[in-house]
Amino acid sequence: MSEVQTKVRIRLRVNGAEHEVDVEPRWLLSDVLRHQLGLTGTHVGCEQGVCGACTVLVDGRPERSCLMFAVQAEGHEVTTVEGLTPAEGLSPLQAAFQAHHALQCGFCTPGMLVTAEALLRENPNPTEEQVREALSGNVCRCTGYQFIVDAVLAAAREGRS
Amino acid sequence: MTAEMLKPKFTGARVSRLEDARLLRGQARYVDDIAVPGTLEVAFVRSNRAAARIVSIDPSAALRLPGVRAVWTFADCPITIKNRGFQVEQPVLAKDEVRFVGELVAAVFAEDRYTAEDAAELVQVKYEALPPVLDTRAALTDAPRRVHAERPNRFYHKVHETDGFQQAFANAPRKLSLTFRTNRQTGAALETRACLAMPDPASGRLTVYATHQSPHNLRAQLARLLDLPENQVRVVVPEVGGGFGIKAMFYPEYAILADAARKLGRPVKWVSDRTECLLADAHARDAVHELEVAFDETGRILALRDHVYGDAGAYPFLGYSGAVGEAGWATDMLTGPYKIPEVSIEIDCVFSNRAPTGPYRGVGGPIGAQVHEGAVDAVARALGMDPAEVRRVNFIGPQDFPYETPTGGVYDPGSYRESMERALALVDYERFRRQQAEWRKQGRYVGVGMCCFVEPSAFAESEAGSIPYEAASVRMEPNGTVTASFGLGPTGQGHETTMAQLIADQLGIDVRDVVVLHGDTDSAPFGGGTGGSRSGTIGGGAAIRAGQTLRAKLVKMAAHLLEASEEDIELVEGRAQVAGVPARGLTLRELARIAYTDIGRLPEGMTPGLEVLVRYQPPLAATYSNGIHLAVVEVDIRTGLVRVLDYIVVNDCGRLINPMIVEGQIHGGVAQGIGSALLEELRYDGDGQLVTTSLMDYLLPTSHDVPRIRVEHLETPSASEGGFKGMGEGSLIGAPGAIANAVSDALAPFGVFITELPIRPQDIVHWVQTGA
B63 CB near a chain A CB, below 8 Å?
no
User: Where in the sequence of chain A do the CATH 1.10.150.120 domains occur?
Assistant: 92-160
Mean pLDDT (whole number) for B401-419 = 98
Nearest by CB to residue B696, choosing from A26, A48, A107, is A48
Q: Is the pLDDT of residue B7 over 80?
A: no
Which residues of chain A make contact with B30, given a CB cutoff of 8 A?
40, 43, 107
Indicate the fold that domain A8-83 takes in CATH.
Answer: Ubiquitin-like (UB roll) (3.10.20)
Q: Going by DSSP bridges, is the β-strand pair B206-210/B124-129 parallel, antiparallel, or unpaired?
A: unpaired
Q: Whole-angstrom Cα distance, residue B396 to residue B416?
A: 7
Task: Check B33 against A34: CB less than 8 A apart.
Answer: yes
Which is nearest to B111 in space by CA: B60, B20, B38, B191? B38
Mean pLDDT (whole number) for B512-539 = 94
Which residues of chain A make contact with B21, given a CB cutoff of 8 A?
90, 98
What is the structure's pLDDT at B9? 85
What is the structure's pLDDT at B509? 97
Over residues A115-126, the pLDDT tens digits come to 999 999 999 999
B670/chain A closest Cα distance in angstroms: 7
Q: What is the number of other CB atoms lying within 10 angstroms of the CB of residue A55?
A: 28
Report percent pLDDT > 90 for chain B.
95
What is the structure's pLDDT at B273? 97
| Environment class of B153 (CB within 10 Å of its CB; exposed 0-12, middle 13-18, buried 19+) | buried
Class (C level, CATH) for A92-160: mainly alpha
Over residues B35-68, the pLDDT tens digits come to 999 999 999 999 999 999 999 999 999 999 999 9
Nearest by CB to residue B667, choosing from A34, A50, A147, is A147
Q: Is the pLDDT of residue B465 over 60?
A: no
Q: Is the pLDDT of residue A161 over 80?
A: no
Nearest by CB to residue A50, choosing from B189, B660, B695, is B695
Q: Whole-angstrom Cα distance, residue B253 to residue B250?
A: 9
What is the structure's pLDDT at B2? 36
Nearest by CB to residue A106, choosing from B121, B239, B663, is B239
What is the structure's pLDDT at B48? 98
Query: A2-16 burial by CB neighbour count: b if 16+ within 10 A, else e?
Result: eeebeeeebebebbe
A146/chain B closest Cα distance in angstroms: 6
Q: Please give the model's pTM, rounded to 2 decimal places.
A: 0.97
Q: In terms of DSSP H, where are the helices of B509-649?
A: 540-562, 588-597
Q: Is the pLDDT of residue A80 over 80?
A: yes
Q: Are B752 and B641 in contact (CB under 8 A)?
A: no
Integer-rounded Cα radius of gyration of chain B: 28
What is the structure's pLDDT at B6? 39
> C-alpha angle with apex B413: B407 to B418, nearest 5 degrees?
105
Q: Which residues pair with B342 in a beta bridge?
A: B303
Cα A49 off chain centre by: 13
Pairwise pLDDT comparison (A161 vs A114), residue with the higher score: A114
Chain B residue with Cα closest to A105: B492
What is the structure's pLDDT at B65? 97
Task: Check A142 against B663: CB less than 8 A apart.
Answer: no
Which residues of chain A make contact with B677, given a CB cutoff of 8 A?
none
What is the structure's pLDDT at B269? 98
B149 CB near a chain A CB, below 8 Å?
no
Q: Is the pLDDT of residue B398 over 80?
A: yes
Which residues of chain B make contact with A141, given a CB cutoff of 8 A?
187-190, 242, 244, 668, 671-672, 700
Q: Which helix (H) or strand (E) holds B633?
A: strand B623-635
Task: Check A104 against B668: CB less than 8 A apart.
Answer: yes
Dmax (CA) of chain A: 59
Q: Is the pLDDT of residue A3 over 70?
A: no
User: Where in the sequence of chain A do the CATH 3.10.20.30 domains occur?
Assistant: 8-83
Query: Which B residues 354-393 touch A at CB under 8 Å?
Result: none
How confident is residue B296, by pLDDT bands cut at 50, 70 and 90? very high
What is the structure's pLDDT at B320? 93
Omega before residue B761 within 30° of 0, cis: no
Q: Are B451 and B741 in contact (CB under 8 A)?
A: yes
* Three-state secondary-structure class, residue B481: coil
What is the structure's pLDDT at B484? 98
Q: Going by DSSP bridges, is the β-strand pair B756-757/B174-182 parallel, antiparallel, or unpaired?
A: parallel
Q: What is the number of other CB atoms lying within 10 angstroms of the CB of residue B245?
A: 30
Which is nearest to A33 in space by CA: A76, A4, A2, A95? A76
Which is nearest to B450 in space by CA: B237, B739, B217, B76? B739
What is the structure's pLDDT at B772? 64
Which residues of chain B make contact with A83, given a CB cutoff of 8 A?
none
Q: Which residues pair with B452 in a beta bridge?
A: B628
Q: What is the mean pLDDT of chain B?
A: 96
- Sheet bearing B52-58, strands edge to edge: B97-98, B52-58, B124-129
Q: Is the pLDDT of residue B297 over 60?
A: yes
Chain B residue with Cα closest to A1: B118
Over residues B659-698, the pLDDT tens digits come to 999 999 999 999 999 999 999 999 999 999 999 999 999 9
Omega before residue B619 within 30° of 0, cis: no
Q: Going by DSSP bridges, is the β-strand pair B283-284/B569-572 parallel, antiparallel, or unpaired?
A: unpaired
What is the structure's pLDDT at B463? 58
Mean pLDDT (whole number) for B584-598 = 98
Over residues A129-143, the pLDDT tens digits come to 999 999 999 999 999
Which residues of chain B make contact with A101, given a CB cutoff of 8 A?
16-17, 660-661, 663-664
What is the structure's pLDDT at B464? 52
Which is nearest to B536 in space by CA: B291, B290, B729? B729
A64/chain B closest Cα distance in angstroms: 15
Q: Are A58 and A76 in contact (CB under 8 A)?
A: yes
B30 CB near a chain A CB, below 8 Å?
yes
Dmax (CA) of chain B: 88
Nearest by CB to residue A97, choosing from B24, B493, B696, is B24
Report yes or no for ipTM above 0.90.
yes
A124/chain B closest Cα distance in angstroms: 19
B115/chain A closest Cα distance in angstroms: 9
What is the structure's pLDDT at A55? 98
B244/chain A closest Cα distance in angstroms: 9
Task: Check B709 against A47: CB less than 8 A apart.
Answer: no
Q: Whole-angstrom Cα distance, residue B369 to residue B716?
A: 21
Task: Check A4 against B494: CB less than 8 A apart.
Answer: no
Task: Check A139 against B695: CB less than 8 A apart.
Answer: yes
Chain A residue with Cα closest to B695: A50
Q: Are B543 and B484 in contact (CB under 8 A)?
A: yes
Q: Are B349 and B155 in contact (CB under 8 A)?
A: yes
Q: Whole-angstrom Cα distance, residue B26 to residue A92?
A: 15
Over residues B232-262, the pLDDT tens digits come to 999 999 999 999 999 999 999 999 999 999 9
DSSP state of A33: I
Chain B residue with Cα closest to A50: B695
| Environment class of B769 (CB within 10 Å of its CB; exposed 0-12, middle 13-18, buried 19+) | exposed
Which is nearest to A131 in space by CA: A142, A145, A110, A144? A145
Q: Going by DSSP bridges, is the β-strand pair B623-635/B40-46 parallel, antiparallel, or unpaired?
A: unpaired
Which is nearest to A36 in space by CA: A1, A8, A57, A62? A8
Q: Going by DSSP bridges, is the β-strand pair B97-98/B104-110 parallel, antiparallel, or unpaired?
A: unpaired
